[in-house]
């Protein structure tokens, strides 16, 4: 029986490595090719939803105001009921920038029933942006810093490919031991779930986006029903990507041009970030939850268990499978500039993610699911 299980686990990893769009190679990046510049640069409005982001907003807004974009560009910050001085910090960043007149601060309005907080803030900002008739809307989080050429590169790619959505997986903080333990795997698992190469192919239905940096063609957004069409979604970036791919091609890739400005305090904080949406990904289904936990145990824990405690074919299969998952993790570890030895720990990391997934379900059952800035939003997502 051990040999059969070991060979089955090996087969699973061979399928993942050879038949899942090469997700583990981390090849879809925004710095792998030089794209032609548009003959005329379209108008862009950035919309930034912010709720109690005073610790990072000056750097985020400052990086947007510093964009070397040749075309018309404005920034709308939606202050979603902050009580920590977020708006004042943003005004300070604008005052210190030669492009400070690009910034408009829009007060948020009371959250209506049936909306998540972030999406209602985005709706307010997109509605205000639409009054200016831009060609594109850049949806970006308040804790993302942008390299000066990021918007120019995004628009060049969008115009070249006639894309409805151009999204970047922002580089996350990966400095502390907890971050090195969990952050590269977060992107690795995301790519396993949504292979970027499949997302970027117009002939595949696979769609995904990364909410920290999403350049959206305004006409495509309007045809897709706008932000209102996803108003209850917890995993709003992927929900929006699915609707936009019905309007035209989309592109998702890794980047160093957009980076998270907020470090994670420890394993618990990263776990809360993951558990906020994990159960939503499973459609709030207890059956899918049970299957996912069993599948993760089989895929990540069984191979090292056989390698250590097994014998004969079972042990060999366990060792080979453990080696394959270690090798598969290496490109993402290189991207995040962390030791390749973390690859050996992927089974333990996978177990941690399984626990975070279970924690996500428990939070929903207790009425605290989808927690974002003090709002439990998962129940709205089930409506």
140-187 pLDDT, tens digit each: 999 999 999 999 999 999 999 999 999 999 999 999 999 999 999 999
Band of the pLDDT at 322, cuts 50, 70, 90?
very high
Band of the pLDDT at 370, cuts 50, 70, 90?
low
Asked whether 105 and 65 are in contact (CB, 8 A), the reply is: no
Q: What is the pLDDT of residues 82-105, one digit of tens each?
A: 999 999 999 999 999 999 999 999
Q: Please say if the pLDDT value at position 131 is more than 90.
A: no
Question: Which structure tokens are listed for 294?
Answer: 């069993």
The pLDDT value given to residue 381: 45
Asked whether 371 and 272 are in contact (CB, 8 A), the reply is: yes
Domain with CATH 3.90.550.10 in the chain: 26-265
Band of the pLDDT at 277, cuts 50, 70, 90?
confident
The pLDDT value given to residue 380: 45
For 104, other C-beta atoms within 10 Å of its C-beta total: 16
Band of the pLDDT at 251, cuts 50, 70, 90?
very high
Q: What is the mean pLDDT of the chain?
A: 94
Mean pLDDT of 206-230: 96
Please tell me the distance from the alpha carbon of residue 181 to that of residue 343, in angstroms, as a whole number: 10
Asked whether 208 and 241 are in contact (CB, 8 A), the reply is: yes
The pLDDT value given to residue 1: 84
Return the closest-CA partner of residue 65 out of 38, 90, 40, 37.
90
Can you say whether the dihedral through the CA atoms of 153, 260, 354, 287 is positive or negative? negative
Q: What is the pLDDT of residues 189-198, one digit of tens each?
A: 999 999 999 9
The model's pTM is: 0.93
Mean pLDDT of 61-84: 96
For 68, other C-beta atoms within 10 Å of its C-beta total: 11
The pLDDT value given to residue 374: 60
The pLDDT value given to residue 188: 98
Q: Please say if the pLDDT value at position 133 is more than 70.
A: yes
The pLDDT value given to residue 2: 84
Mean pLDDT of 1-22: 94
Q: What is the pLDDT of residues 278-303, one digit of tens each?
A: 988 899 999 999 999 999 999 999 99
The pLDDT value given to residue 383: 40
The tokens 């059952």 sit on which residue?
365
What's the topology of domain 26-265?
Answer: Spore Coat Polysaccharide Biosynthesis Protein SpsA; Chain A (3.90.550)
Return the closest-CA partner of residue 289 out of 369, 357, 367, 365.
357
The pLDDT value given to residue 130: 86
Longest dimension (CA), the chain: 71
Q: Please say if the pLDDT value at position 375 is more than 80.
A: no
């Amino acid at each position: 029986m051990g040999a059969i299980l070991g060979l089955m686990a090996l087969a699973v990893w061979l399928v993942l490595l050879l038949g899942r769009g090469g997700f583990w190679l981390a090849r879809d990046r925004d710095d792998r090719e030089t794209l032609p510049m548009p003959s005329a640069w379209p108008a862009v409005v950035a919309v930034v939803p912010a709720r109690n982001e005073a610790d990072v907003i000056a750097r985020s807004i400052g990086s947007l105001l510093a964009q070397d974009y040749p075309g018309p560009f404005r920034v709308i910050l939606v202050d979603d009921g902050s009580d920590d001085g977020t708006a004042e910090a943003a005004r300070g960043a604008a005052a210190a920038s030669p492009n400070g007149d690009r910034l408009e601060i829009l007060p948020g309005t009371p959250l209506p029933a049936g909306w998540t907080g972030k999406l209602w803030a985005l709706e307010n900002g997109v509605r205000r942006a639409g009054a200016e008739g831009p060609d594109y809307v850049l949806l970006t989080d308040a804790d993302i810093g942008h390299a000066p050429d990021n918007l120019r590169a995004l628009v060049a790619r969008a115009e070249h490919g006639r894309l409805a959505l151009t999204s970047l997986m922002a580089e996350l903080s990966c400095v502390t031991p907890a971050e090195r333990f969990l952050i590269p795997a977060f992107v690795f698992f995301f790519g396993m779930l949504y292979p970027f190469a499949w997302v970027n192919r117009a002939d595949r239905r696979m769609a995904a986006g990364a909410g920290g940096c999403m350049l959206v063609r305004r006409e495509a957004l309007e045809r897709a029903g706008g932000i209102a069409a996803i108003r209850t979604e917890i995993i709003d970036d992927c929900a929006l990507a699915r609707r936009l791919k019905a309007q035209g091609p989309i592109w998702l890739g890794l980047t160093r041009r957009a980076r998270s400005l907020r470090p994670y305090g420890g394993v618990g904080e990263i776990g809360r970030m993951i558990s906020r949406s994990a159960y939503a990904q499973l459609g709030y289904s207890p059956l899918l939850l049970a299957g996912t936990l069993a599948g993760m145990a089989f895929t990540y824990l069984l191979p090292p268990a056989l390698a250590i405690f097994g014998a004969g074919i079972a042990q060999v299969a366990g060792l080979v499978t453990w080696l394959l998952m270690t090798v598969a993790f290496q490109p993402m570890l290189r991207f995040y500039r962390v030791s390749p030895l973390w690859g050996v720990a992927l089974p333990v990391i996978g177990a941690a993610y399984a626990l975070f997934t279970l924690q996500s379900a428990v939070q929903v059952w207790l009425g605290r699911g989808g927690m974002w800035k003090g709002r439990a939003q998962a129940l709205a997502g089930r409506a």
